């Protein structure tokens, strides 16, 4: 199946951009990644991985990687419901408690975790 990888994680971009069409959202936050995925779903793409696919909360990590279909079809209502609910949950968590200003070492750990999660899906 052809797919598109949407990510703001430099490690994910480095690992997969040569083999999978990748939209690298350098220096964009978790919410911006989900909003772009939502926009793509409105355009007829389908979710291939869940936007909140780990136990790490959106207000804990700044990194997110999501796979969507490359093929465009009619609006997939299930994908739309999932991304809208995920966006709502992520915004609530981030508004309730902002993501800490992590050290570079911790940010790198979060990049590795996100890479591991998306690698298992791919």
Sign (positive or negative) of CA dihedral 13, 47, 44, 36: negative
Q: What is the pLDDT of residue 55?
A: 86
Instruction: Record the tokens describing residue 100, joined without a space.
Output: 């800490």
Residue 3 near residue 19 (C-beta atoms within 8 A)? no
- Phi, psi angle pair for 68, to nearest 5°: -130, 165
pTM as predicted: 0.94
CA distance 21 to 13: 10
Residue 58: predicted pLDDT: 93
pLDDT of residue 53: 86
What is the per-residue pLDDT for 63? 97
pLDDT at 10: 98
Q: Which positions of the chain have pLDDT values less than 50?
A: none
Nearest-angstrom CA–CA distance, 39 and 114: 22
The runs of H, that is alpha helices, within 27-103 are: 30-42, 77-96
pLDDT at 110: 97
Confidence at residue 21, expressed as pLDDT on a 0 to 100 scale: 97
Please give the Cα distance from 10 to 18 (Å, whole number).
13
pLDDT reported for residue 122 = 93
pLDDT for res 54: 86
């Amino acid at each position: 199946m052809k797919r598109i990888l949407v990510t703001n994680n430099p490690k994910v971009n480095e690992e997969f951009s040569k083999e999978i069409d990748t939209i690298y959202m350098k220096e964009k936050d978790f919410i911006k990644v989900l909003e772009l995925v939502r926009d793509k779903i409105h355009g007829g793409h389908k979710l291939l991985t869940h936007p909140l696919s780990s136990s790490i909360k959106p207000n804990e990590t700044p990194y997110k990687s999501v796979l969507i279909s490359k093929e465009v079809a009619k609006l997939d209502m299930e994908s739309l419901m999932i991304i809208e609910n995920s966006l709502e949950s992520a915004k609530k968590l981030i508004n309730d408690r902002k993501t800490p200003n992590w050290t570079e070492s911790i940010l790198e750990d979060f990049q590795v975790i996100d890479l591991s999660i998306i690698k298992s899906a791919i």
